[in-house]
Structure 1
Amino acid sequence: MTTPNLDDIRLFASVAEAGGFRSAAQDRNVSASSLSDAVRRLEGDLGVRLLNRTTRSVTPTEAGQRLLERLRPALAEISDALDGLAVRDGQPSGTLRLNVPTVVAHYILPPIIARFLAAHPGIRMEIIAEDTFLDVLAHGFDAGIRYEESIARDMIAIPIGPKYQRFAVAGSPAYLAAHGVPKHPRDLADHARIGHRFASGHLALWDFERGAKRFRIAPEGPLISSSHAIGMAAALAGLGLIASFAEYLQPEIDRGALVQVLSDWQEDFPGPSLYYHSRRHMPAPLRAFIDFVKAGG
């Protein structure tokens, strides 16, 4: 077995993570053919096939998957070491990789990121918005943003964005006129409830709380979707009630297209947190972002 080239290893990981040569080529601003050559070279050096290639997809073989799982933390450490050394004109530079929920990407991060990048022109950010719970370090991210119930205990977490948020339940005026306005969570048994399913397969349940009384209700109705836009369209069309973050529903409530119900059963919950591992050698871009968030963003 020939000792493989480190650049070929990193390019293989990029293709496997991106799920294809074209996507990886766009991410790295190189040609797809150069990536293909690198993977073939690596497979030749190792004497094993690493990727299954079809006209529709590129997926790791069993050997490729084992190698990828071992490579992720090692490549992340290499990237961290290089980023930690990268300083330009006395300012941190390098790439900061974040994994965040879609609601945070839409409603919380945009102004924070704009201010941070304006203050740190040497830093480049890569932000992946998804609702799948994963090991951010193992997948090559420097840090993640999640809500407290899904943050591992061995992580350091600091608040980012609003200190508190809340959910809301709403329906169109036409739907409520036809089916009545629920006054208690138990009344939802008589209503169509539009559901949201996360990419992980988890179905979002509807939680209600008032004092010591708590209710958890599963959505049941004409639609369950992983798309917030599709769920919203169904609610606006009068197909049922929808439950989501208040930030998402508020514009439609403000213009009268939706009417909030059961607001007296919705209590505030803690906002999201930036979480990261307590590594001794923290990448300079991550340290700068942590300091920025702690200072109020």
Structure 2
Amino acid sequence: MKDINKNESEERVGKRERFIRKARESVQEALKSRDMLLGGSAKSIETIERVINQLTEKLEEWYAVYFPEFKPPEDRKKFVEAVIVIDRKNIDRKALAAIIGEKAAALAEERAKNSLGAELDSRDIKQMKALAESIISLYKLKEEYERYQNVLAQEVCPNISEVAGPEIAAKLIAHVGSLRKLSIMPASTIQVLGAEKALFKHLRNKKIAPPKHGIIFQHVKISSSPKAVRGKIARALANKIALAARADAFTKHFIADELKADFEKRYKEIMESYKGEKK
């Protein structure tokens, strides 16, 4: 009887060890997946962008105390670069013009002469410039991550990268967790990934229109098109992304050229139809 109990105990221990070993192997296999690295890079870039925007807002508020007449250019990076070179009492017009243009630099020089800004000592100005230099270093870090992301996207999902662009490919994979998960999603779901809040609002209240696009709105063919046709273009792009994802995840065949050509053809049809309706 003791031998039987001993054998059963050993068998249970053996099964448990095999189960633990298999679980460990599965976890290790998942962690070494390259698409997880791609998702991580996309999330890192989003975090860096958020920090850059927050710090730039603080810099704008701070700098308005010193030089309120200097209006930040639309390109916020240029504003940060301008802060580094501007000395209100002695503006280097040539250096400033290289950043914001000759006309804007001349205007800044003229406004600096009669500025209502506070007279700050060199220590205060030095700290503002130090913050601006830190923001520029974050821009450089973001650019480095973007280069890494593009290379990784071409490796992990070459078809999606070619059809939608490396940035959108990375964000889609980061959003769902893996290439495999993305590959089994229908095109209708891919179309609205990233717009879940808007979708839930629509489901709770049918009077609210459903979202027509999510992450893929960042594609230039969608974002730059008239609002009336964005939904159709997003649907066409989502269809091609779904096919590209399956090829990347399962067959490993490069079919992006064909998918991209089909999308471009459909895009032209949509735009021609829209222009015809407007006449």
The interval holding the TM-score normalised by the smaller chain is under 0.3
Normalized per residue, which structure has more helix? 2
Larger radius of gyration: 2
User: Relative CO higher for 1 or 2, CA cutoff 8 Å, sep ≥ 6?
Assistant: 1
**TM-score, length-normalised on structure 2?**
0.23
Q: Which has the higher strand share?
A: 1
